[in-house]
A and B are shown apart, each in its own frame.
Chain A
Amino acid sequence: MDQDIQIKITDRDGTSHAIAAPTDMALNIMEVVRLYELAPEGTIGICGGMAMCASCQCYVLTDHSLREMQDEEEAMLSEAFNVKPNSRLGCQIQITPEMEGLEIELAPED
């Protein structure tokens, strides 16, 4: 579909998935992971997408400019584990057309 973008998500087992992510459904990265069941239910998006857990932490592997980190996300990441400089919370990043070609990797489960 026209409004889909192609992105690559590496799951927690190291398998890379090339997927089409819709830009017209107000989805964020955490929701796309759930949409395609790339992480078992109950291990991602535990707080529902409120930046109040870090179960959707991912590493951004490409240099796309993404929505700037807000206070809530920064605070949550500062208490998360396995945090790297390219860590983000998937639930805080909405899928937009500019993200075509984005590659991310899911951080390990806590």
Chain B
Amino acid sequence: MIETDILIIGAGPTGLFTVFEAGLLKMKCHLIDALPQAGGQCSEIYPKKPIYDIPAYPEILAGDLTEKLMEQCKQFEPGFTLGERAETIEKQADGSFIVTTNKGTQHKAPVVAIAGGLGSFEPRKPQLDAIAFYEDKGVAYMIKDPEVYRHKKVVISGGGDSALDWSIFLSEVASEVTLIHRRNEFRGALDSVDKVQELKDKGKINIITPAEVTGLIGKNKLEAIEVTKSGESPVRIETDSFIPLFGLSPKLGPIADWGLEIEKNAIKVNNALDYQTNIPGIFAIGDVNTYPGKLKLILCGFHEATLMCQAAYQIINPGKRYVLKYTTVSGIDGFDGTRKEAPKAVVKSIN
């Protein structure tokens, strides 16, 4: 069981800045995120796009913002459970919470801060008849263990980076790789596009474009797919696996069943005070919350995180008085033993 002071669900900009603000108040944080890396949308959707409304950064790439936030909170030694989705929450007799992920990892904390953005990123599933039946019986939306495909026939569909990269990778592992895309053009890193072209020329990847998978065939498991080239009749292709890679889309997911008040696909909070939800001890900050006048901006998430930490401090240190300290005056004492402080002025006579 992982124990911490503030359990943060969502490792996007708001979640990462919470680590820093909590650290100033001597509270430790642990973050859970469904994505395999920190940064949330900033690293998953638009790492190379600029943001212009982060105070003091006239322009910063979303990926760089994530890096800076990681650097800023590093001395407060946050823990991470990445690639796992927070699934259930249970309130304990002592008032703390246990949050369990979809992989069974348990986390215990007196305060839970949901900084979940638009929700956890889930693969987008093509709308094909009986696709749910074939899940784990030949259909997969992400590749967890490439070895599963060794000496097997694989069909991948999609036209972006992940479809290209996995086609390249699996061409060395699988007995047959077929890549199906609705257009002739692929969108990805130039290297990957060139590599796929090379593998196609060598006969290591079959490419079918412009085409779409239109049917799944198989009795107890997937045995073949039906592919339709535009303007032609459907063709059957024998395969062991079908891997549609159409990107990820955020879903509020299991958090919606935690008994929290939800409005407009977001969690209602008290914005007059501390961004607490209807369940004491559970806060919601950043894009995931809603209140009158809410703006889904990173900078608003930072502010909400800061105020939330004050309330968390009172829960963790009941009755303890607190007075605001400025980092310029007090410096920062990291949990890793480091100390940052403003250089002291010298007192010296000038003769």
Contact = CB atoms under 8 A, between A and B. Distances in A.
Question: Nearest 5 A-B pairs (CB), nearest first?
Answer: A42-B265, A41-B264, A75-B187, A78-B183, A78-B182
A42 B181 CA distance: 28
A38 to B, nearest CB: 13
Given A41-B264, A46-B249, A81 B183 contact: no
Interface residues of B, number: 26
Nearest to B210: A78
A50 B47 CA distance: 12
A40 B46 contact: no
A24 interface: no
A13 interface: no
Contacts of B160: 75, 79
Given A50-B46, A74-B183, A75-B187, A82 B265 contact: no
Interface in A39-92: 40-43, 46-47, 50, 52-53, 55, 71, 74-75, 78-79, 81-83
How big is chain A's contact interface, by range?
10 to 19
Chain B interface SS verdict (over half) = loop
Given A40-B265, A42-B264, A43-B265, A52 B159 contact: no
Contact of B264 (A40, A50, A53): A40
B158 interface: yes
Contact of B250 (A41, A46, A75, A81): A46
A19 to B, nearest CB: 19
A2 interface: no
Contacts of A79: 158-160, 182, 246-247
A13 to B, nearest CB: 16
B278 to A, nearest CB: 19
Contacts of B158: 79
B266 A75 contact: no
Nearest to A43: B265
Nearest to B245: A79
Interface of A: 40-43, 46-47, 50, 52-53, 55, 71, 74-75, 78-79, 81-83, 110
A83 B230 CA distance: 13
A43 B183 CA distance: 26
A67 B160 CA distance: 24
Contacts of B41: 47
Contacts of A75: 159-160, 183, 185, 187
B189 interface: no
Given A40-B265, A41-B264, A41-B266, A110 B183 contact: no
Contacts of B124: 81, 110
Contacts of A55: 249
Contacts of A46: 118, 249-250
Contacts of B187: 71, 75
Contacts of B181: 78
B45 interface: yes
A71 B252 CA distance: 30
Counting chain B CB atoms within 10 Å of each CB, the highest count among A75, A79, A83 belongs to A79
A11 to B, nearest CB: 15
Contacts of B233: none
Contact of A52 (B46, B118, B265): B46
A110 B123 CA distance: 11
B126 interface: yes
B45 A52 contact: yes
28 contacts: A40-B264, A41-B264, A41-B266, A41-B290, A42-B119, A42-B252, A42-B265, A42-B266, A46-B249, A46-B250, A47-B45, A50-B46, A52-B45, A53-B247, A55-B249, A74-B183, A75-B183, A78-B159, A78-B182, A78-B183, A78-B185, A79-B246, A79-B247, A81-B126, A81-B127, A83-B182, A110-B124, A110-B249
Counting chain B CB atoms within 10 Å of each CB, the highest count among A40, A41, A52, A78 belongs to A78
Interface in B149-163: 158-160
A81 B123 CA distance: 13
